Structure 1
């Protein structure tokens, strides 16, 4: 039966998903598709409150019946009433409580939490590359995970506690007013006092809760940053310094939490005094009215029982408000990161890129990462179909930036890039990147099996194709000897976060195997063999020759010998193309390429000053 309720909501139903930036709109965005279950949970809470009030009310009536009734005829006179109330106590109340429990535990919260996390992940994963460059990955993860649970918890807190208590208070007011208006006055004043406290404290606690949530996210991000770069921390013996970083982050988060708790503690103390005043005033009014004969002993018992119950429930209100403020603050804080509009988007109805020849044209491209000084200054270059070119130049000349722009990791600030005449800004990003195979110098692998990492290049590839790609990348030898702590071996072994369990050369060979398997019509090699030893590099160079066959290739390498045999070399300096030609033509020109070649081939020994070598 519980499994039925657990599957009433499908959290992964596809839909248009652009989280709004307003807090109320953000809640509404995620709640509207599941509103029937929210209403059902509220209806169950209403039934729970009414059943409890009915029991308290009947207890007072029962006291009066017993005080004035005859024991011999009591059952015959009031049996049907007792049976009806027994039905409420024994059957109806447990049934509505069970319904509320199932809806609040099995149906709404798990599915809603999963839904919020899933849709937020879909939105965030569609953000531009620069979005992730400008934040801690651990912090972004925390925002997505915490926002889902906080949004769900805040809704269930409102329904399970505040809604139930509100119904209870309104029902009690009606009962008191029906007995005597004087009895209702203390309860009405108590309600006004609580509303005043809420009006004063809620905005302040919400603001401080958001600050505490931000500090918690930053703490998570900083710790994840330290652990993710633990090799650097160890190599530079900076454990002590990172202890200070962590200490400061923890102290900041603790301080923010204490700021929030200071308000909550004050609110709790004021509520305790307010509750005491309610009990005293209600008790005094009940005694006075009973002495005047205006109310019965049973009605006095009901009044005192209800206010005692309300004061106990107010403690639950306090706990609920504490959690509610914290959760709403967490949602508000997460929303500021998650609900940002995408910085780099496809045009409406953007077509798929169709690569028929593989010609690439850079047309007066200008780009500077949003800074004042451009990295590329009007670069124009045409790479012919099937041509293999090498990009050469000092560090910072703009070579890798050109590749990033070709993949549309950033939008241009001027000019255009076209593939077979199609402006890459007008086609879908997915089809563009599917048409380009890339091997970079800084290779990061997913913490999955070797097989899954290679198959990332072509998810539908069978095991035979995966093994063939690994063999072509000279990776099959070391793969067979891999083992992870869980006993998985070979192609099933997991490689650790970012592939840390493998050497740089091993990661590079798996990355090359991945691109070999992808077999895209355009190939980009950004220092593809920089992490390999000479023997392995020679083997892979032979395989890359086959891979580059009939493909348009752009290769970047500081080790010029690896790209000297390209069809054409393009030399860049300070964001401009300064030379083009074959290896021999550029050597004969005695320009920048020739000086770079001379330094790498031994010409620097007697000719260049140390600072010139360092500049390289």
Structure 2
């Protein structure tokens, strides 16, 4: 049996190749985008569901016939007169019903449900992963993740439930009308009346539930986002003794979610209560009419049994179908709410025909660039700067001067509003983003590590790097002084130990040294240091001095630092203010000029880089 399961489970892969079309922003198109990728198993499910429904309805007809046979045929003549028909009934019940029922179940559980759910999750995750940095900066990470996780099962659930529901409507109701007409046409009247009222209940209540479901789904995502935000920033919560504040912050979202949950359940309760009443009246009226017809000799006991048992089955199924219909629209509401976030088009895309960036020298040129972050006032205004191959440039300026923005534009985290940036005479707007960032190594002030092993974090920037290469990089970054002593809750040690979310199990200096090891291993021709040693104490900073020198040799370097002693020995210093270059030159020439840099230097003291080491 495991062989059968394995075969079925491999028919559809969640990671199947598709044409790369982004998920549409129209609801019906969004559904079809994923349904078309798995349409064959869905057709199989419909076919098996059709046969199963026909068999289920046939059982009630069989029951009525058997009762009539028992009433009209002597025991010794039963098999003689009806044997072949009884054998066929036996074959249907013992062989065909289990066969098609099992097939329907296997198609649903082994082929469709896990694969379709995770196919939606995988493709929406791939799309969201390609969004720009600002997309993630403007939302909760937990909220976005929650939408991806819940959209998959909601889309699959609504599609599968719709297929199952179709056959109730088409087969059970149609068959009931046909069988009731065969018994006595008067029996159709209670059924038609019940159908009209049942459809009216669905038409009235289900749209309300769908609308409120989308609202509650948004509230659920916001609640998840707030909880994840608290956990992600737990150190800040503890430092400011803000547990009560976080409780209140989450409680507001939880109270909002609770209110919206009740808003869904009110019409649901009203709908179910009315359905109980309508179903009771339907069974009673049908039974009373059927008994009256029997008393007048117009129907047999078997036919009456068929009518009553089928009506009970329809009533029971009606409750199920109402829940299914409600579930369908609730899932549709969840998909709608998730789609609004997931299907946003990429705002930062590679140009058509973009080629990989090739860096042979490492020359960088900013030519009249302009960037405002979408604001009226400029952050970077008409800035031009040329950095020669292998030149080491330090960026200096007060907070908000535009230093980090300049680096973000070089990495093309944002598109320019004017001008262009060239690397070895190639416009970075015309090359692929991945190839651009692959040629730039960066060590930031706030190093965030992945919640994976130390080894995974070090080799992250160089696919295929060996364990030995990672060890060498860690040694150069002076990280082996603490890595062998690391151990996580899973018992993993050293390079295999997991570092916790954002590297929380490590100190700031330890995270920084792993980040330096990662960039050492990446060995990109262009290096950006954004307050790279700010998290290190003086002793550790001095210890990795040689590593930084090795890291910078032969590379084009852009270094940002508020501690001027760390960049004083750079080839050239660029002093920025309000998105413009106001001074540039060597440390010595700028001091002699007595301008802004000289004023900043006079407020600080000490030194770090040996001028001879980076010459």
TM-score, length-scaled by structure 2: 0.96
Return the match for 1:516 from 520, 535, 544. Answer: 520
Q: What is the 5 A alignment of 1:115-126? A: 115-126=119-130
Displacement of 1:322 in angstroms is 3.4
Structure 2 residue 328 is matched with structure 1 residue 324: yes
Structure 2 residue 490 is matched with structure 1 residue 478: no
Q: Given that residues 17 and 123 in structure 1 are in contact (C-alpha distance below 8 angstroms), is that contact kept between their aligned partners in structure 2?
A: no
Displacement of 1:165 in angstroms is 5.0
Q: Given that residues 481 and 489 in structure 1 are in contact (C-alpha distance below 8 angstroms), is that contact kept between their aligned partners in structure 2?
A: yes
Return the match for 1:7 from 6, 10, 13. Answer: 10
Structure 2 residue 451 is matched with structure 1 residue 447: yes
Q: Given that residues 365 and 377 in structure 1 are in contact (C-alpha distance below 8 angstroms), is that contact kept between their aligned partners in structure 2?
A: yes
Q: Given that residues 206 and 326 in structure 2 are in contact (C-alpha distance below 8 angstroms), is that contact kept between their aligned partners in structure 1?
A: no
Q: Separation in 2 of the partners of 1:83 and 1:95?
A: 17
Displacement of 1:20 in angstroms is 0.7
Q: Given that residues 448 and 502 in structure 2 are in contact (C-alpha distance below 8 angstroms), is that contact kept between their aligned partners in structure 1?
A: yes
Return the match for 2:348 from 324, 344, 349. Answer: 344
Structure 2 residue 370 is matched with structure 1 residue 366: yes
Aligned to 2:586: 582
Q: Separation in 2 of the partners of 1:378 and 1:344?
A: 22
Q: Given that residues 41 and 112 in structure 2 are in contact (C-alpha distance below 8 angstroms), is that contact kept between their aligned partners in structure 1?
A: yes
Aligned to 1:19: 23
Q: What is the 5 A alignment of 1:391-470? A: 391-470=395-474
Structure 2 residue 550 is matched with structure 1 residue 546: yes
Structure 2 residue 312 is matched with structure 1 residue 308: yes
Q: What is the 5 A alignment of 1:118-157? A: 118-157=122-161
Q: Separation in 2 of the partners of 1:125 and 1:451?
A: 23
Structure 2 residue 375 is matched with structure 1 residue 380: no
Displacement of 1:589 in angstroms is 1.0
Displacement of 1:561 in angstroms is 0.5
Return the match for 2:562 from 548, 555, 558. Answer: 558
Q: Given that residues 526 and 557 in structure 1 are in contact (C-alpha distance below 8 angstroms), is that contact kept between their aligned partners in structure 2?
A: yes
Aligned to 1:568: 572
Q: What is the 5 A alignment of 1:156-171? A: 156-164=160-168, 166-171=170-175
Q: Separation in 2 of the partners of 1:228 and 1:249?
A: 17
Q: Separation in 2 of the partners of 1:535 and 1:312?
A: 76
SS at match of 1:373: coil
SS at match of 2:559: strand
Q: Separation in 2 of the partners of 1:438 and 1:512?
A: 9
Aligned to 1:610: none
Displacement of 1:185 in angstroms is 2.1
Aligned to 1:262: 266
Change (3 A) 1:164 1:41: farther
Q: Separation in 2 of the partners of 1:575 and 1:229?
A: 31
Alpha-carbon displacement from aligned partner over 1:407-457 (angstroms, at most 9, x marks no partner): 001111221111111111111000000010010001000011101100012
- Is 406-415 or 390-399 further displaced after alignment? 406-415
Displacement of 1:154 in angstroms is 1.5
Structure 2 residue 231 is matched with structure 1 residue 227: yes
Displacement of 1:223 in angstroms is 0.2
- Aligned length in residues: 602
Q: Given that residues 371 and 381 in structure 2 are in contact (C-alpha distance below 8 angstroms), is that contact kept between their aligned partners in structure 1?
A: yes
Q: Separation in 1 of the partners of 2:480 and 2:290?
A: 87
SS at match of 2:461: coil
Q: What is the 5 A alignment of 1:19-98? A: 19-98=23-102
Q: Given that residues 565 and 605 in structure 2 are in contact (C-alpha distance below 8 angstroms), is that contact kept between their aligned partners in structure 1?
A: no
- Is 194-203 or 235-244 further displaced after alignment? 194-203
Aligned to 1:606: none
Query: How large is the RMSD of aligned CA atoms in angstroms?
Result: 1.3
Displacement of 1:162 in angstroms is 4.7
Structure 2 residue 201 is matched with structure 1 residue 189: no
Q: Given that residues 161 and 316 in structure 1 are in contact (C-alpha distance below 8 angstroms), is that contact kept between their aligned partners in structure 2?
A: no
Q: Given that residues 392 and 558 in structure 1 are in contact (C-alpha distance below 8 angstroms), is that contact kept between their aligned partners in structure 2?
A: yes
Q: Given that residues 202 and 322 in structure 2 are in contact (C-alpha distance below 8 angstroms), is that contact kept between their aligned partners in structure 1?
A: no
Q: Given that residues 168 and 321 in structure 2 are in contact (C-alpha distance below 8 angstroms), is that contact kept between their aligned partners in structure 1?
A: no
SS at match of 2:521: helix
Displacement of 1:180 in angstroms is 2.6
Q: Separation in 1 of the partners of 2:318 and 2:521?
A: 64
SS at match of 2:544: helix
Displacement of 1:199 in angstroms is 1.8
Q: Separation in 2 of the partners of 1:422 and 1:193?
A: 70
Stretches of 4+ aligned residues off by more than 6 angstroms: none
